[in-house]
Amino acid sequence: MGATINPQGTLAGKVAVITGASRGIGDAIARRYAMEGAKVVVSARTVESGDHYLPGSINETVAQINAAGGQAIAVKADLGVAEDRQGLVAAALDAFGAVDVLVNNAAITYFIPVTEFPEKRFRLMMDVQVWAPFELAQLVLPGMRERGSGWILNVSSHAALHPEKLQPGRGSTVYGMCKAALERFTTGLAQEVYDDGIGVNVISPGLVATPGVMHHKLINESNEARVTPVEHMAEACLRLCHGDAQELTGRIDYADAVMEEFSLNAATLI
């Protein structure tokens, strides 16, 4: 049986906002959530195919979800811009109602050594990868608290971990800083909203052959055996956004570990 939309699925009737969803992991998460009945708000900067040098766009993702019988809208948002961050949540409210699930997946990354890193790009990375998840959480939390339920999932990276040994790197210090901050934000917020029925988790995908990963040439002979399908990440992200929020919160997780812990089988995506 092929991939289908289940209107009575795990996320039936829920409104999910996914950032960075024009391609790669965000696109896969949007499709997987839609398959489980979620009304999906697909957000990124790339609206139409050809707007970006990498393939994929939010209009393509939305068109394919809706063609399969799901419900989705596209909202252009540059998360480095305050008006766009606020407008994203406002658009979700206007289209579908209060947000039940927020997935902070968007990222902008420059691999530049510390001694050469320009302030403008440093601030942009911090705005998109740290401040935007923080502010978007601020915007959706009042509604979640009012309903006594909700989920926030932040997408991190193994770059958040301290290097196992000192050896020549390739300019990933600022990226690691951003992801480490995102992980500490996640566990702190999980503690703050523990009594409100809101689960807050962070997940790292491992090595997935997304367009961005391929562009930065992050897959090579030494690590190609560890590449995992994007469907595994989407499945793990689904699992961390339903269930008992007090039992499944404050976790710093990895896609392969979630797949194993919950004995998950990755679904084929629409």
Pair 6, 33: CB distance under 8 Å: no
- Active site residues per annotation: 175
Interatomic CA distance for residues 144 and 93, integer angstroms: 13
Nearest to 92 by CA among 136, 37, 130, 152: 136
Report d(CA 110, CA 82) in Å as an integer.
21
What is the rounded CA–CA span in Å between residue 171 and residue 162? 14
